[in-house]
Amino acid sequence: MALKNPYANYQQQNMQTKSPGELTLMLYDGCLKFIRRAGEAMEANQVEKRNENLIKAQAIISELMVTLKGESEVARNMMQMYDFIMSRLVDANMKNDPAALKEAERFVREFRDTWVEALKRDRQNRFGGANRV
C-alpha cells in the first residue's frame, strides 16, 4: 500500500535506509526531545503534556533495554544505567521532580554523545574519512 502523504513516505524510506547504529542514535535524539518537552511542560504546570512526553521517553529507554545484546560487563553496566535513567524518568513524572528529569537528561545526553563518537570512528575505520553523523 502506497503512502499518500509524501512526507510520511520520505520518513519511512529514511528509516529503512538507516544502519542499526544510526537508528540507535535516532532513539537517543528522540528521548532527549521528549525529555526537553516534558521539562517545558513541567515548568508550565502542564501535567498531561509532562506525562505524555515522559511516557514516550520511557518507551524509548525500554526499547534500548530490550535491544541491548550480550552478557558482557559493558552490556550489564549499560542495562544498569538504562534502569537508573528509567527510574529517574518515573520519579520526574510521579513527583513532578525537575532534578530527576535533569539527571535523566544528563545520562541520556552522555550516551548519545558517546554513540555519536562511536559512529564517527566506525565510519573513519570503514571509509577512511571524517564523515558527519
- The pLDDT, as a whole number, for residue 126 is 79
H or E stretch covering 87: helix 73-95
Domain limits, the chain: 20-118
- The pLDDT, as a whole number, for residue 46 is 98
Higher-confidence residue of 124 and 12: namely 124
Question: What count of other Cβ atoms lies within 10 Å of the Cβ of residue 106?
Answer: 13
- What pTM does this model have? 0.81
Cell of 26: 535516532
Q: Is the pLDDT of residue 40 over 60?
A: yes
**Average pLDDT, whole number, for the chain?**
89
Distance of CA 40 to the CA centre of its chain: 18
Q: Could you give the CA distance from residue 20 to residue 119 in angstroms, rounded to a whole number?
A: 10
Which ranges constitute the DSSP H helices of the chain?
6-16, 20-43, 47-67, 73-95, 98-127
Q: Which CATH superfamily is domain 20-118 in?
A: Flagellar protein FliS (1.20.120.340)
